[in-house]
Amino acid sequence: LQSSGSATLPSEPSLPSPKPPDALSTSRSSNVPRSRIRSGD
pLDDT in tens, 10-40: 555 555 555 555 555 555 555 556 665 555 5
Q: What is the pLDDT of residue 27?
A: 57
CA 35 to CA 15: how far, in whole Å?
12
Q: Give the per-residue pLDDT at 32.
A: 58
Given a contact cutoff of 8 angstroms between Cβ atoms, the answer to whether 41 and 26 are in contact is no
Q: Can you give the pLDDT at residue 36? A: 59
For residue 13, the model assigns a pLDDT of: 54
Q: Do 41 and 18 contact (CB within 8 A), yes or no?
A: yes
CA nearest neighbour of 25 among 14, 37, 35, 17: 37
Q: Which of 13, 37, 14 is nearest to 27 (CA)?
A: 37
Q: Measure the CA–CA gap between 6 and 29, rounded to whole angstroms.
A: 32
pLDDT for the residue numbered 15:
53
